[in-house]
Amino acid sequence: MAIPTEALSLGVAGIAALGAWASQRAASKASTVSTRMDAEKEAYERARQFDIETIQRQQDEINKLRERLAVAESKVQKLEEHTPISLLGLEGLLRDREEDPTDKE
């Protein structure tokens, strides 16, 4: 029994349509994955740039604080050099005086 040409043509057309549908679906999924990957890559790049800027800003702040600390330490050293009794020595004298029971004012 011979299969009519029309039936074969219809079967081939059906298979071609099914193949085209599957191909379109795969392309759509690939496009969705690619779009999602692009979005994730862009989000990563934005976050990375934000982190780099934050680190740089914090480093600048640390450098400014180090400069201020160096100035403050220099001032303290100059004060200690020109003060006959250092602040710690003065605190010790005052504390000893408060604890001395023989001291009467």
Q: Specify the pLDDT at position 91.
A: 67
* Residue 35 domain-assigned (yes or no): yes
Band (47; pLDDT cuts 50, 70, 90): very high
Q: Specify the pLDDT at position 93.
A: 66
Q: What is the pLDDT of residues 23-34, one digit of tens each?
A: 888 888 877 777
* Residue 62 domain-assigned (yes or no): yes
Cβ proximity of 88 and 94 under 8 Å: no
Could you tell me what percent of the chain has a pLDDT over 90? 31
Q: In this structure, what are the phi and psi dihedrals at residue 29, rounded to the nearest 5 degrees?
A: -65, -45
Helices (H), the chain: 5-82, 87-99
* Residue 12 domain-assigned (yes or no): no
105 three-class SS = coil
Structural domain harbouring 95:
28-99
Q: Specify the pLDDT at position 1.
A: 54
Q: Specify the pLDDT at position 103.
A: 55
* Residue 83 domain-assigned (yes or no): yes
Band (84; pLDDT cuts 50, 70, 90): low
* Residue 67 domain-assigned (yes or no): yes
Cβ proximity of 86 and 80 under 8 Å: yes
- As for how many domains the chain has, the answer is 1
Q: Specify the pLDDT at position 21.
A: 84
Q: How far is CA 23 from CA 14, 28, 89, in A?
A: 14, 9, 87
CA distance 2 to 12: 16
Q: What is the mean pLDDT of residues 93-103?
A: 63
Residue 26: CA atoms inside 13 Å, Cβ hemisphere, count? 6
